[in-house]
Structure formats: C-alpha cells, structure tokens
Amino acid sequence: MRIENSVVIDKVSKDLIILRYNDTSTKYFEALWEIPEGVTYNAYLLIDGDTTVLFDTWKKGLESEFLNTLNSVIDIRDLDYVVIHHMEPDHSGSIKTLYERNPGITFIGHPMTSKLMRNLYGISPKFRAVKDNETLSTKNYQLAFIHAPWLHWPETMFTYIPQIKALITCDVFGAYTIPKSVFIDELSDEYISSMRKYFANIIGFYKDNVIKNLDKVLAVTEGNIEIIAPAHGAVIKGNLVNKAINLYREFTLKTPVNRKIVIAYSSMYGFVDGIMSHVAHVLSDWGFNVSIYKFTDKERASIGDLIGEANNALGIVLGVSTYDTEPFPLMDYIINLLIKKLKGGKPVLLITDYGWGDVVLRHVKTRLEKADFTVIDAISVNGIPTKEDLDKIDIALQSLKQALTQ
Ligand SMILES: Cc1cc2nc3c(=O)[nH]c(=O)nc-3n(C[C@H](O)[C@H](O)[C@H](O)COP(=O)(O)O)c2cc1C
Ligand SMILES: [Fe+2]
Ligand SMILES: [Fe+2]
C-alpha cells in the first residue's frame, strides 16, 4: 500500500520551522533513479520577530502545495528573504511563484545563482549575491553563507546559524525515504543505506569535493554543529551529527572497512546466471557479505540501490553477456554509472559470456581500467563454461580474495 503525498510542518528549534513535503508519487528521481521508498523535500523557515527568511522550497510542480503550506504559517507578503542553497528544481521549484506573489522578496544565493534563476525560471528578482562566509543579521540570529561548490551543482552553498548551531545543507546529508518523524532517533543500517544511496546516486560524481567542503565547514563552524538540516530525509541532531559527518567521510573512501562484495550481472538465458551462482557461493563461503543485483527475464534489480551499495563495497564482480556485438545494454549502462559515480578505486572481477564472437571482454576491461578500477582478472566464457573456464574462474576468485584481504 502506498501512502499518500503529505505535508509536515514542525519546529526544528524555537524559531526555525521545517516545511516538509512527503513525495510518494515520483517513481524515478531525476528521471533516473528508482525510488519506491519515496523522498521528501525540506524547506526551512526562520521567523525572527518581524523578519522572515525562507531556505529553499519544494520540487517544481508543487508550487500551489508549497504556497498553501507557507501561507498557513506566514503571510507571503511578509516574507523578506529567500535563501537559495541550490538551483536544482527539486528545491527551487517555487521561487518563481514566490517572486510573482511578492516581488519585494530579496533572494540570496551564490553569485552563479542569479543567472540560473534567469535561465531556469525566466526571472530576475531582487538578488543579493553572497561571498563565501558573508553574513546576514536578523534581530537574534546571524546567518553565515558558506559556499559548497559541486554539492551538488557549482552554485551550492550552506547556511550556518551559530545561535542554534544549525547547518542547513540542502542535498548533503540527505537521504531517500520518508522518515516517520522530523528528527531521526538513530542512524540505523537502513537509514545509512538511504543516505548512501542518495550520496552515490546524486553527489557521487563530485565525491572529491565532499571532504574538501566538509573540512571547510568544520573549520568555519569550529565544529559547533548540533543540528544538520538537509533538504531530503530527516533532520540530524545531537550526537548523531558527528556520526553523520564520519559516515560522509566513509562514503568517499576508496577502501571501505567491510566485507561487502557486490555482484551485478545480466543473463538472458541463464548462462551467466549459472556462473554467477557459483561465484556468489564461493565468495559467501569465504565469509564475504555478498549482495546480488541481477538483470534477467524474471527480475530487474534497482540500479539506484546497486550504485548505492557498490559505493561502499570492498569489491565488485561483473557478469556481462554479449548482445549484438556489445555488452548487454543494461550492463553497459550500469558500467557507465559505476565509472561515473564511483570514480574507480575498487577491485573488479569481470566475466563476460558470448556465443560466436569474443568482442566484449577487452572493451569493458579497458573502460574499467581507464576509469581507475583495478581489474583483478577478466575471463570470457563461450556459452556454457567448460571445466577449464571454471578452473580459471576459481583462480580469479582466489586472486580477488587475496586483493580484498590484504
Ligand atoms: C539477443 C541476443 C544477442 C546476442 N548477440 C551476440 C553477439 O553479438 N555476439 C556474440 O558473440 N554472442 C551474442 N549472443 C549470445 C550470448 O551472448 C551468449 O549466448 C551468452 O552465453 C548469453 O549468456 P546469458 O544467457 O547468460 O545472457 C546474443 C544472444 C542474444 C540472446
Ligand atoms: Fe541536487
Ligand atoms: Fe536534491
């Protein structure tokens, strides 16, 4: 049973309110990633006496829902500032409507934001471009705007509010899923995998910027962060803040500290399937924690989940059938995503299968190596594996084990 779309309005602190939309309708986030778990868009509103500051909005298409929600808390004509942390339309969706309803609003953002406002929404409202660490003072609060480029677009920034030690982070620290409450009580394994999936799917391509920006934020805030308020998922507070920051560091690690191996393969008529059952069996027997993502005539795994889990796997095994002289299309696509989002750094065992022309192996191997993956071994099988093929595969598995337990 699917829950209906719904709205949550709640306090994050005395004067900071969350306006959250629980989206159960979007099937493919960014028209790409499967999200049966749903997603939230979190906007925040600071009401400090006469001054009101809105941080971000909701997804494009939810303008009337957003306006109604905001109107139930304040009169839009009283809104003074809208801080735009990120121009992707899952957050900026209502800015045009806000501007039309109240042309007096001062929009605040990174210097690149005004051009994006014009290009994406055709508007040029009153705009204050803020420098890195520039501040805005209201009666009781001082907002510091920290540029966080490439998390997840070039114009992204965070807001730090020292008086409540809150860091508003937009996509960073976000998660897919619709948490039951505004704050999360614990970073459960399930919640961590939602965060990792969001991280790998959305920010993975820019992972080199994560640590750089986190270190900068920790320096600017002197580590005084008690609330992390992201734009997707739950608000993180108290002792979970440091845990979340450390998790983010882990997400960027090329060599994780676990025993996870992700096996991903296609199989049209069961040839690769047979080989991979053997591979999974051997690796499980050796105590690895194996996750299988298969693409067959009976099932199609979630590619978003696969990328999320592969991001922190110790190693990857790929099984690729040959299809019209090329890698099976879904595997071709997955290999592309692994290259783009994981950025290499992991051992991979590659097994391909063909009927009459052994053309795929070399091509995929070269692509993976160019992308900084370590191809432990690459084996091509012609249809049913022979005894010799199986021996080669067993030797390759030994090499993989050795590479992963060094
Ligand atoms: C639609 C289709 C296209 C194929 N195209 C090729 C091809 O271009 N070259 C080739 O050597 N084998 C090709 N094959 C053969 C398969 O790659 C081979 O049978 C392999 O063992 C399939 O493994 P699977 O059933 O696990 O997917 C094709 C098979 C199918 C069903
Ligand atoms: Fe984004
Ligand atoms: Fe987002």
Query: What pLDDT, on a 0 to 100 scale, did the predictor assign at position 1?
Result: 45
Pocket probe for ligand 1: among 263, 268, 272, 362, the residue whose CB has the most ligand atoms within 8 Å is 268
Measured in whole angstroms, the distance separating CA 178 from the mean position of its chain's CA atoms is 15
Q: Rounded CA gap, 188 and 247, in Å?
A: 12
Fold (CATH) for 260-405: Rossmann fold (3.40.50)
Give yes or no for a contact between 184 and 236, defined as CB atoms under 8 angstroms apart.
Answer: yes
The domain made up of 2-253 is a member of CATH 3.60.15.10: yes
Per domain, the residue ranges of the chain are: 2-253, 260-405
Going by alpha carbons, the residue nearest to atom 19 of ligand 1 is: 355
| Residues within 5 Å of ion ligand 2, judged at the Cβ atom | 88, 152, 171
Q: Helix axis angle, 329-337 relative to 303-311, nearest 10°?
A: 40
Residue 113 alpha carbon to ligand 2 centre in Å:
14
Decide: 325 in ligand 1 pocket, CB within 6 A: yes
Going by alpha carbons, the residue nearest to atom 28 of ligand 1 is: 323
pLDDT in tens, the chain (406 residues): 456 899 999 999 999 999 999 999 999 999 999 999 999 999 999 999 999 999 999 999 999 999 999 999 999 999 999 999 999 999 999 999 999 999 999 999 999 999 999 999 999 999 999 999 999 999 999 999 999 999 999 999 999 999 999 999 999 999 999 999 999 999 999 999 999 999 999 999 999 899 999 999 999 999 999 999 999 999 999 999 999 999 999 999 887 888 999 999 999 999 999 999 999 999 999 999 999 999 999 999 999 999 999 999 999 999 999 999 999 999 999 999 999 999 999 999 999 999 999 999 999 999 999 999 999 999 999 999 999 999 999 999 999 999 999 7
pTM: 0.93
Q: Helix axis angle, 271-285 relative to 387-404, nearest 10°?
A: 40
Shortest-distance atom of ligand 1 to CA 325: 8
| Residues within 5 Å of ion ligand 3, judged at the Cβ atom | 90, 171
Residue 61 alpha carbon to ligand 1 centre in Å:
43
Residue 219 alpha carbon to ligand 3 centre in Å:
25
